[in-house]
Structure 1
Amino acid sequence: MTQNPAVDRDDQGTDLHDPKELRKVLSSTLVGTTVEWYDFFLYGVAAGIIFNKQFFPSEDPVVGTLLSFLTFALGFVARPIGGLIFGHVGDRIGRKKTLVMTMIIMGVATFLMGCLPTYDQIGTLAPILLVVLRLLQGIAIGGEWGGAVLMSVEYAPAGKRSLFGSVPQMGLAVGLTLGTGVFALLGAVMSDAAFNSWGWRITFWLSIVLVVVGLVIRLRVFETPAFRALTQAEERSSLPAKEMVSDPVTRRNLLLGMGARWVEGVAFNTWAVFSIAYASDTLGMERTPILLGVMAAAVFLLVLIPVAGALGDRYTPRLVYAAGCVFAVVAALIAFPMLGTESQVLAIIGIVLALGVLYPFMYGPEAAFFAGLFPVSNRYTGISTVYQFSGIFASGLTPLVLTWLLDQAGGGLQYILGYFVLTGAVSLACTLAIRKRDQFEEDEVRTEVRV
């Protein structure tokens, strides 16, 4: 029987756009990013609760928290390195093989974090080993995100790139729910002494179980049609990073993309990481209700990310993302005063509004938006560079910056709110400055794969 040449097939003739295959691809990207974000966010939660006391002890609790958040930031410094390394590998040998490597590295590093002795047990070697493992986490997630979203975007049928690209983004919500949920559950069923002594380690050991599940699913997925077409056309770039920066269009998109992401990274790390330490350490609120608030926000996030992705297909990812930049500032102006009331109910509502309801308007269409800034030949490198290099100042430094601004304001919120206005304005301007003619809306080597 003659096969339709316009249909993408694997080496055995399987239709890669068959609904069953598409569900397999989407589930693999969702599970994969869930594992990666679960591992990565465990550190963020532990940084403000456990690590600041057990690995960075100090007579001044502010100093201990700052040091702990500094190591949190180091993970984001390592992410661009991972983005460049695995971006190059992904553009040269494919998305699938690269994603298997990143998942293994991430899982092993997280598991070993749960095995580390504390400062009281081995002294300064404890924070040193913690930093090394945090750097490995950063390198792994630096290569994971770009490949995961490209698996979805490059498999997407015409007119559904933003929706498909939002599916791996949902892994952030699931990973955050699992990470904070496990912390909250163990904190509720265990005494504080037991949890602080060894209970927190269980959350890190669970990573191995998730990694095994993720690998089983991921290994069953085929390479993306766009990359296979690029390979058959013999148009793979030998040096994707050089190609990306030498072309004036992709170089401009690279810089504007990093600026566009600033407020997105600030918003997420404010509500998913900083708010926990702020509510418990500064406001003296109980830890468990705030963790439950972040969990509730993650549930809303899970539901609304694909909604925002679908809106991106209808109104373009760029316009929906621009609206999200405005919403991020509005959220800060509303939610921070709600936390300041020290009411647990209002604090939870504020976090849910900021993180669960308004933040998805940036995160949902983000994958398709950034993927459209680069051609297939250097797309893995390009999207990873935009996301991971901007992550240094947009994400990794946020808890550190906000802690410092809070201290400088004597516990007031005016400097933090001003920071949100600044980052929101810059991101909105960069988003709107990205020209439609400079976006690669469809894959140039689109799906003309023949068997």
Structure 2
Amino acid sequence: MRMSNKYKIALTSLMGNVIEYFGFTLFAVFSKEIGQSFFPKLDDFVQTLSVFIIFGTGFLSRPLGALFFGHFGDKIGRKKSLSYTILGMSVITFLIAVIPGYQMLAALAPVLLVVLRLCQGFFVGGEGPGAALYILEHSKVENRGMIGGVVIASIITGSFLATLVGILINQLGVVGSFSWRIPFFIASCFGLIELYLRFSLPETDDFIIVQKKNKIQKIPIKTVLKSYWREMMLIASLGGVTTAISYIIMAYFTPYFEKQLNIPHIAALQYSLYSIFLFISFLVLMGKVSVRFGARNFTIAFAYAIIFLLIPAFLAINSDNKMLFLIGISLIPLLSAGLCAPAYPYAIKKFSTEVRYSGVGVSYTLGIAIFGGFAPAICSYLMRTTELSYSPAFYIILLALVYLAFEHILGESKPNEI
């Protein structure tokens, strides 16, 4: 394979992740504005909580998307399945950009928003694991740790750009119910450009070999449920904790800084942007370092690090010392990157090629739906009920303990070499 073709595969795959998660994360970045458009009669806290709940519903449909697109990805190819995910995401994101608010549709407006969010999550459920699988199957085995970090970094880059756009729109003085719609429209346009680029990509060699050996499964998920249920439980628990701590950084930090620390909106977005930028940088670094120690050992080590260091990180954020504050919002991205970077390379080793899209996709997104997606809403609720500045750490620590328990019980099964 020519170097130019390798770069094209990598860049096009990663661009798809950036675009899809840019559109997916806009809900959190513009939670205040969306809350005002769809829940104008509620107070500020309930508005934000309502938007975070809708944000979380997008994760509920992700396992269905992973099941649907994983089925076709294992039967007709990774490339075709990924083309459909980006097309669907672009259409849904455009519809979100133009949906009328509460003033025009009353109670029907938030109902339609929930439906569109569920559809958005459906397509993202096929995109995230599929794009990771596609690029990892194209990469050399010795590079997969670093590539795994880069894949997650591309997802976080989408959130970084969403936050950056939020800052720019605020600084440009674009206000009112129209302000949050602009980036959704931009995301839908870029999605269609990405669709065009994906048509020129080749299929992975791993899938072509399975085709030639006539190993295509009639119903891949049936094989996964029968032969890989232990692996599914393990990867689901890993998907839950990685997503929850990631969305603390990508979705929860901004409202947390505003409401808990009384930081002005623009400054809160800037601090969030700083944290997300560190997260991206650490992901690439941790992905490379994880190769030396092994993906499993790395995830276990950082799960323990989260248990012991997350509460001190939140305490540092809430201190009156500016340096401790910066250390706190830097430490959480480091902990998250160490756990997330090797997650996909670890997961794909657990499933054979003929069922890998279905196995990784459904397992990981189940963990996201059950544990990860509602992390911002759960953390908001914990803050309100406990009045403890570090209470968001409780939920993440619980998920880390769940993952370690499953790892202790199920993690010793022999991985499938790829």
TM-score by length of 2: 0.94
Per the TM alignment, residue 328 of structure 1 is displaced from its structure 2 partner at its CA by 3.0
Q: Contact 1:325–1:424 (CA<8 Å) still a contact in 2?
A: yes
In the TM superposition, residue 437 of structure 1 has moved relative to its aligned partner by 4.5
Match of 1:46 in 2: 30
Aligned to 1:428: 404
Aligned with residue 401 of structure 1, among 362, 365, 378: 378
Per-residue deviation, 1:85: 0.5
Q: How does 1:45-194 map to 2 (within 5 A)?
A: 45-47=29-31, 49-190=32-173, 194=174
Residue by residue, what CA displacement relative to the aligned partner does 1:70-103 show, whole Å, maximum 9, x if unpaired? 1111100011110111110111111001111101
Give the equivalent residue in structure 2 for 1:27: 11
- Partners of 2:233 and 2:144 lie apart in 1 by 23
**TM-score, with structure 1 as normaliser:** 0.87
Equivalence for 1:299:
277
Verify the 8 A CA contact 1:285 1:342 in the aligned structure 2.
Answer: no
Give how far 1:197 is off: 3.0
Q: C-alpha distance in 2, partners of 1:262/1:304?
A: 20
Q: Is the 8 A contact 1:257 1:431 kept in 2?
A: no
- Residues 54 and 119, structure 1, Cα contact 8 Å, conserved in 2: yes
Output one character per residue of 1:210-248: Cα deviation in whole Å (capped at 9) or x when no partner: 21332233222100000000001110111111000111x
- Rg (Cα) greater in structure: 1
Match of 2:196 in 1: 216
Residue matched to 1:11: none
For 2:267 and 2:323, the matched residues in 1 are separated by: 9
Sort the Cα spacing of 1:415 and 1:167 in 2 relative to 1 into closer, same or farther, 3 A: closer
**Is 1:318 aligned to residue 271 of structure 2?**
no
The verdict on how the C-alpha distance between 1:419 and 1:167 changes in structure 2, with shifts beyond 3 A counting, is closer
Matched, 1:353 2:331: yes
Post-superposition offset of 1:313? 2.2
CA distance in 2, matches of 1:323, 1:21: 36
The one-letter code of the counterpart of 1:396 is G
Residues in 2 aligned to 1:134 and 1:230: alpha-carbon distance in whole angstroms: 35
Alignment identity in percent? Answer: 27
Residues 425 and 96 (structure 1), Cα distance of their counterparts in 2 relative to 1, 3 Å cut = same
Match of 1:373 in 2: 350
Residue 233 (structure 1) aligned with residue 227 (structure 2):
no
Q: 1:330 to 1:109 in 2, by over 3 A?
A: farther
The farther-off stretch of 273-282 and 367-376 is 273-282
User: 1:290 and 1:323 mapped to 2: Cα distance?
Assistant: 31
Give the superposition deviation at 1:344. Answer: 7.0
Answer with 209-218 or 85-94: which moved more. 209-218
State the match for 2:395 in structure 1: 419
Letter in 2 for 1:386: S
Task: Indicate the larger mover: 220-229 or 162-171.
Answer: 162-171
1:5 aligned partner: none
2:20 is aligned with 1:36: yes
**2:367 pairs with one of 379, 382, 390:** 390
Aligned residue pairs total: 418
What is the CA RMSD across the aligned residues, in angstroms? 2.0
Please identify, of 324-333 and 149-158, the stretch whose mean Cα deviation from structure 2 is larger. Answer: 324-333
After superposition, the Cα gap between the structure-2 partners of 1:297 and 1:441, relative to the gap in structure 1 and judged at 3 Å, is: farther
- In the alignment, the residues of structure 2 paired with residue 344 and residue 118 of structure 1 have an alpha-carbon distance, to the nearest angstrom, of 40
Q: Distance in 2 between matches of 1:202 and 1:346?
A: 36
- Specify whether residues 345 and 312 from structure 1 end up closer, same or farther in structure 2 by C-alpha distance, changes over 3 A only: closer
Contact 2:25 2:159 in 1 (8 A): yes
Q: Which runs of 5+ in 1 are unaligned?
A: 1-14, 443-451
CA distance in 1 between counterparts of 2:100 and 2:396 reads 38
Cα distance in 2 between the residues matched to 1:172 and 1:36: 8
